[in-house]
Chain A
């Protein structure tokens, strides 16, 4: 039945009753009664009009939805009548629900969502961790994750349980792409086996994807474009498909476009713009070398096969292959072959890189946002309780007039559900904006993150459920207490009763809020301090006034013999840019995401295979002075350290301590590859330790070699990828000058990216910063909510005790007495909250402990500061109504009510 027909029927019933009353009254007048008496008499005779109408309406059926509609209408009217209250409640809920929905959205996208491919559950990855990037020999803990191309072919051809088995790079490669002779632009690419798209079950959106013939070295070069790239960089131009682009100096036909939403095998920021066959890998040394392990494998298991037996079979295949390939495992490691194994892990979500990276962070955020929601609920419950108490007299009147208690509870619950739904809807907006902001924070520096900030349907459902649950949780107590009103109160004057149940509840809610808030504030203090420690630590280099430019000469068709000329040109032109104090070249720069390590053989010492291989980098002259790493002894790498000269190396302190514990390293020799090379490099200097990869642990043992020196018998590796510039003033100011100088040096050389050293380092702390900022935000919100709660309860208590205070003042209490009376209650709640919250925070602190850097989870300064801030804000909040109490005029107070 429609609402409109109900209304009409209601109106008719009203009129029917009215006409009854009028006729009855008229008859009484005719019998000689006075008009007024007649009307009263008719009414008395008729009985309770509202009740008669209600019982009559009950007979109509549809009672439940009709009453619901009534409740909703009535609820809306009451809520709109107190817009301030409604706005505060909706805003509070929007923040609580929004924060949780935003975090759910990210969890859904990062941890739960499957790849947008056919039957993702059939996909399994060969390997159980995210080791990267290029390895030789046995792998960490025996679990194989990275595979050589030869091993891949062997597994692919001998494991019939897989309908397809694909290989791909674990990372994205920089590509230099030129269209019709225009300047080179940097893009991201991934080199994959030609059956990659078949394995994943992805069909072309336009054109075709890769097919097995593309794997052969003689096949014409093709590439597949990401839909997002086609849309953003090529304007969905259909003529791009089938056209030829120059990729890394080689003409390459664009075979087709992947479907929208497809981002590859790994959810990550800046996914590949192009997929190219492995045969096109510019680093030619990797593909044919059975000893170089550099590929991840993902297979599609045929239906009916369980992963466990396949895993056992793969392990056998792996061990047999390793045994039969003597060049892969060095003799001293052959005893470890039986310990090598392959573990299949479900790859429905692809390679779980983000999940691994962000799991702990997201779990922490879920906990914190749930805490925030609880605080918000407590706050709203408190507001409702206060309002319910204010409406107590009205409730009592309604009960006295015959309203059913259950009906009143339902009415109030409807009201809180309305509030919750409004809060939830507003929360969706908060969630969208929040998730968007979180993505920006989490992927600082990324130009595209394939994660949608809009909540998905399941997340939407979850947040609606959350809103409704919230509504019931914060609504049921106030509804219950309000419905307990005694009808007699209405006659007695409800304002005078003291010590009712509602106020005890309100106080406990404030205590809970204070407890939750102090826990959040302590967490915020800890992660903020930890981030500050991380960012402010001594890295072993100086980031102020430094600019890092990343280039890739290998993508512009350079061959090793032409590098010398390029390096000399760069070393000449860079220092001439106005504002540049010093410039240098290196393979890679600190904390830029790159790190190479290699086993070394020290001359005159037995090889030690147990310790981890030291890191190494190639650096040019002025490198250490440009990045601000101090020379401790000897000399740095200079202009004279060129091919043909003495092959030299500079080592860091840790390298010196590890390999030369009790002797002078200067003048000692070492080499790479094997023992016969141990005389290759002479150590000429020691520099201070600097962190290149891991920001939390100690610096790795590291050695530095000149840019181009390669001893006889060694293959050349380590092309210059970074230019470091020490500049006067802001590094960003000279970016255009640097671009111009580079273009002058070689127009085909693409600048992959350029940023201040500060920014490069800052990007290492994206997750820490995300957690710190969100926790700070949550902490601040919690603080505000707790103070609002305390203010509300105190203000309510003052209003309720106006009489009492008036009497006390009349009997001689002074301002201090009154202030003390009010504040004592507030301080008790604050103290109780702190007494519960601080131990709880300490107990929960160990969850945080392993994420903290340079600060203990029980840091007394932070604990004290958090407690102090909360106490100060809370006292301030309580003192406003307390001061009002001191101004109570006893005469006015006694007349009150």
Chain B
């Protein structure tokens, strides 16, 4: 239904910058498939961050289109054919940019949230 779809889109928008950053950071440690990325994010966030597949796959395809990551079909450790994503040189630069943007943002937010002394 229409409003259901709209909900997904809202969430993408809300997470967009962050999700891209999380994906790029995850791929920094080596190439990974979609499922692996979602598991990695979940595990590393202490099960706090659940990446919605409706956001993950569009984000992966978008990052691929922007040439920050590239994909190839490989056999996974479980002997399954899977699409593995890998960071490109441009992706690495983008990760640096995103990271500094994020730390600026979190510093800024932390500054705002700091109780006045």
Contacts and interface: CB of A to CB of B under 8 A. Distances in A.
B80 A23 contact: yes
Contacts of B78: 23, 26
Contacts of B83: 12, 15-16, 19
Please report whether the interface of chain A is mostly helix, strand, loop or mixed according to DSSP: helix
Contacts of A46: 53
Nearest to A59: B58
Contacts, number: 72
B61 A20 contact: no
Contact of B80 (A17, A19, A58, A59): A19
Interface in B43-99: 52-54, 57-58, 61-62, 65, 76, 78, 80-83
Nearest to A26: B78
Contact of A47 (B35, B54, B62): B54
Interface string A43-76: 0001110011101101110000000000000000
A399 interface: yes
Interface string A14-28: 011101101110110
B82 A17 contact: no
B53 A20 contact: yes
Given A56-B58, A402-B1, A16 B34 contact: yes
B54 A51 contact: yes
A402 B4 contact: yes
B58 A23 contact: no
Contact of A404 (B5, B34, B36, B54): B5
Interface string A190-204: 000000000000000
A23 B82 contact: yes
A15 B83 CA distance: 9
Given A16-B83, A52-B53, A23 B8 contact: no
A16 B57 contact: yes
Given A15-B81, A46-B53, A47-B53, A55 B76 contact: no
Interface residues of A, number: 29
Interface residues of B, number: 25
A26 B36 CA distance: 13
A405 interface: yes
A20 B35 contact: yes
Contacts of B35: 19-20, 23-24
B58 A20 contact: no
A19 B57 contact: no
Contacts of B8: 51, 55
Q: Which of B34, B58, B65 has the most CB of A within 10 A?
A: B58
A516 B65 CA distance: 57
A796 to B, nearest CB: 29
B2 interface: yes
B82 A59 contact: no
Interface in A788-806: none
Interface in A448-495: 487
B107 to A, nearest CB: 31
Contacts of A399: 1
Nearest to B76: A23
A16 B80 CA distance: 11
A55 B54 contact: yes
Interface in A390-410: 399-400, 402, 404-405
Q: Which of A20, A22, A27 has the most CB of B within 10 A?
A: A20
Interface in B1-29: 1-2, 4-5, 8-9
Contact of B82 (A13, A19, A52, A56): A19
B53 to A, nearest CB: 5
Given A55-B8, A59-B62, A20 B54 contact: no
Given A47-B52, A60-B61, A20 B2 contact: no
Contacts of A59: 58, 61-62, 65
Interface in A365-421: 399-400, 402, 404-405
Contacts of B53: 20, 46-47, 52
B18 to A, nearest CB: 17
A23 to B, nearest CB: 4
Interface in A70-113: none
A27 B81 CA distance: 16
Contact of A20 (B4, B33, B62): B33
Contacts of A15: 81, 83
Nearest to A48: B54
B109 to A, nearest CB: 29
B94 to A, nearest CB: 17
Contacts of A12: 83
B19 to A, nearest CB: 13
Contacts of B4: 51, 402
A55 B34 contact: no
Interface in A1-44: 12-13, 15-17, 19-20, 22-24, 26-27
Contacts of A22: 80
A400 B2 CA distance: 10
A17 B57 contact: yes
B61 A52 contact: no
A19 B54 contact: no
A20 B4 CA distance: 23
B81 A19 contact: yes
Contacts of B62: 59
A725 B112 CA distance: 118
A146 B83 CA distance: 88
Q: Which of A27, A48, A52, A405 has the most CB of B within 10 A?
A: A52
Contacts of A402: 1, 4-5
A408 to B, nearest CB: 11
Contacts of B57: 13, 16-17, 52-53, 55-56
Contacts of A26: 78, 80
A405 to B, nearest CB: 7
A47 B11 CA distance: 14
A358 to B, nearest CB: 55
B14 to A, nearest CB: 15
Contacts of B36: 23
Q: Which of A13, A24, A55, A402 has the most CB of B within 10 A?
A: A55
12 contacts: A13-B57, A16-B83, A19-B80, A23-B76, A26-B80, A47-B52, A51-B5, A56-B61, A58-B58, A60-B61, A60-B65, A405-B2
Q: Which 5 A-B pairs have the closest CB atoms?
A: A20-B35, A19-B82, A56-B57, A23-B35, A59-B58
Given A22-B80, A26-B78, 4 more contacts: A19-B82, A60-B61, A399-B1, A404-B2
